[in-house]
Amino acid sequence: MQHSSGHYIDGAWRAGEPVIERRNPSDLSDLVGRHPAAGPDEVEEAVAAARRAAPGWAETAPQARCDLLDRIGAAIAARAEPLAELLSREEGKPLPEAHAEITKASHTFRYFAGEAIRQSGYSLRSTRGGVDVDVRREAVGVVALITPWNFPFSIPAWKTAPALAHGNCVILKPSELTCGTAAALAAVLEEAGTPRGVFQMLLGEGAAGGALVAHDGVDAVSFTGSVETGRRIAAVAAPRGARLQMELGGKNPLVVLADADLDKAVDAAVRGAFHSTGQRCTASSRIIVEAGIHDVFVARLVERTAALRVGHALDPASEVGPMVDEAQRRRVLDYIESGRREATLAHGGRVLERPTEGHYLEPALFLDGDMSQRINREEVFGPVASVFRVADLDEAIAVANATPFGLSAGIFTASHAKARDFVRRHRSGMVMVNLPTVGSDYHVPFGGRGASAYGPKEMGLAAAEFFTQTKTAYVAD
């Protein structure tokens, strides 16, 4: 079934000449949708509408914002089945993963419904007699959200929900690869009664996002995507004084020590490296194994990797779906060829044929990992992982830290002392102990360090640091 959509501007849907065609990456004969691309006029209209709506929305009672976000969360939950199916058809992730993404988005809106009520400030006595000090948080204004294709529903949700909860107006610019999924989210917000101008969506490729980033009427930009695009955004937005929040990817290590539960560690490595077709910023791309168990661990890991069922995203038997599009598959194949020249390919890396034509790729596992290798320095963003052999925890930490990225890291060990040591010494924004490097909760901060991020963290209480600004008031008797 084909889905068509337009831009959502000032409380109305805007049609346009469909120039973006999206086909199901699991079955290229399935036309998922055709969509227009925003130009300068649409950008100007969206920014103007948001600026008109901003003062009123910032002053809206917290209970009204809470009620709206709660309705949105409930509406997402009620539409979970069709939303998950659309997401799977458009992005290519297996249906169970799509269901989990939709559910997390519903929970996120409901969580931030509560945060709309819990807007906090504090009062202090001044250092001067007869003066009190009140510190309060206020909305930033108009926020542009530029979101990727790999989590096309949950990432727009986890940016939109806190932005609205804290009184900001939103202009969402989703990836051109997942316009239909973003439009489905916009439809939910419209039906839930979001006021005109408070939430808007512009479809299109990079030009629309670039125009938003450069616009003086946009007070803040929250971006998730590549380091290269993030640098271009910063070069344009920072000089004009816009707030910036950027999540820019990772090269995440999973350390497995000799005392680890091997069954759980192998399962975590497979899930972290290859589920979501490896197309997630927290994927376990570097698996660092203590020498005493290296060979046994590798044998089990190769066996599990070879047994993964790669297939159509809507097939219940599929564990790994296709790559999102042919350009992404070619990019990953280039990394695999580079890996063949530098390391030892233990399994996979082939283009796969299935009953339907799609962008299928066999997960690839390399041995003899070394940080001089290109596949271990750069973010591949596909089902590719390397195994490193290390002598002990100290060497494991050194290898894990040998990257400018610092998003997520994991360790498997039975020793609390070693786990705590790793948590202290690893330079990342998130550390998982006896868990995969993937997976996060909506009520705690999400984000990295170094080349993985810029600006305040996302989610949980940390969201207030970006979506609000403080005002300090001195009051004399």
Cite the active site residues: 247, 281
CA distances to 289, 305, 387 from 347, rounded to whole Å, are 18, 8, 12
